Homo-oligomer: A and B are copies of this chain.
Amino acid sequence: MAATTNQRIDGARLWDLLMEMAEIGATPKGGVRRLTLTEVDRAGRERFRAHCEAAGLKVRVDAIGNMFARREGRDPNRKPVLMGSHLDSQPSGGKFDGALGVLAGLEVMRSLNDLGIVTEAPIELINWTDEEGSRFGRSLMGSGAWAGVYALEDVYKLADTEGVTVGTALDAIGFRGTEPARPFAADAYFELHIEQGPILEKEGKQIGIVTGAQAQVWYNATIIGRDSHAGTTPPSARKDALVAAARVIDLVDRMMRARGEDGRGTVGELHVLPNSRNVIPGEVRFSVEFRHPIDAEIDRLDAQFPREAGFIARDCGVTLQLDKLFKVAHQPFDPGCVDLVRQASAKLGYSTREIVSGAGHDAVYVARHIPTAMIFTPCKDGLSHNEEESIEPQEAEAGAQVLFEAVLARANRTL
């Protein structure tokens, strides 16, 4: 459908910018490896800063490396409208997870310049540090430290597998900034992101109006059985930790499916000991996570799953230890901000669907302090956290155009 506005962002320029950034940490399979606080990340950050400064933005960096690029408004007393996402990637990540939100924000700034628009409120574009958590094991690290979810001193001490700490890595790439890493007065936060799931594509929708983020509960599980010889140990004498783990994995899948298409339940990581084909496994360690848009469902899962997994362990003659890593409630986004996304999409004539984010995003922590909304765009086959992650130029353009409209409307609203 045709847009009913003359104020257009430049889709081709945005796509060129996405492709330019994807060269930094490009992998042979067409993905990106831009792990947080590495030299590759530094290169991405420097490129981003240079583009921001060329667009007349003033860039500041906070104590955890979050970057803020500011465009002044007409009224110096108004709180800024924020937008952003992250430039770091998974070890075998795609070109668009995070980068789309940051670079679409830059295109919004460039278009405001081109169109000669002076907004009432200032606008700030953010590149959050370490959204992915792949290097230091703490996802949403930069926005979490900023929002006070994590203590800065604790975060500095987190180490990667080589023993390099966050503090050392920040200094090494020159991005331990002077601004305090804590919430400041801001009017709103908008984040554009690929859906990382198949729903929009499957339903043929251009824009996902994200109303909030799912509730989650995460566990570490350890099953202890007994190593013994695979050829000589009869069924009655076996304490096979892997057979028990297999039944728990099946349980996770069944508990997910019992909740229909909104359910999420995954065992993504699993280690077998001693992991020798001739030995009945004596120990298995694995991750378990459930997500659902409704808090009460996560509460029910958190009550049912440990009990039913315990029955499986008992029946298999093994012991199960479940450590709950965290349980977080559903995070609703701000109705006013969500409505601006809805209005912008309608004005532009895009097909839409309301959606709850299944993934964690920086927006979830920002929303604890500042009115927040997110915009989703489709990705091919719903694939993300995968080098084959892919989107079309017109999908990126549509998302950026909605971001432009929503941010502009918020920055110019009558207070």
Chain A interface residues (CB < 8 Å from chain B): 90-92, 133-134, 139, 195-199, 202, 214, 216, 218, 226-237, 240, 242-243, 245-247, 249-250, 253, 256-257, 260-264, 266-272, 274-282, 287, 289, 291, 357-360, 382-386
B278 touches A385 (CB 8 A): yes
B199 touches A234 (CB 8 A): yes
Separation of A235 and B258 alpha carbons in the complex (Å)? 10
A139 to chain B: which residues have CB within 8 Å?
A: 278
- A177 to chain B minimum Cβ distance, whole angstroms, is 28
The contact sample of 30 A-B pairs, CB cut-off 8 A, is: A90-B276, A134-B276, A196-B229, A196-B232, A197-B232, A218-B277, A227-B383, A228-B384, A228-B386, A229-B359, A229-B384, A229-B385, A231-B359, A235-B257, A235-B261, A235-B263, A236-B261, A240-B253, A242-B249, A246-B246, A246-B253, A250-B250, A266-B277, A268-B275, A268-B278, A268-B279, A269-B272, A269-B276, A277-B287, A277-B289
Separation of A276 and B246 alpha carbons in the complex (Å)? 17
**Copies of this chain, tallied across the complex:** 2
Other than the known A90-B276, A235-B261, A279-B386, what 14 A-B pairs have Cβ atoms closer than 8 Å?
A: A91-B274, A91-B276, A197-B234, A214-B231, A230-B291, A232-B382, A236-B261, A242-B267, A246-B246, A250-B250, A266-B280, A268-B281, A276-B385, A278-B385
Of the candidates B216, B232, B263, B382, which one forms a contact with A237 in the assembled complex, judged by CB atoms under 8 Å apart?
B382
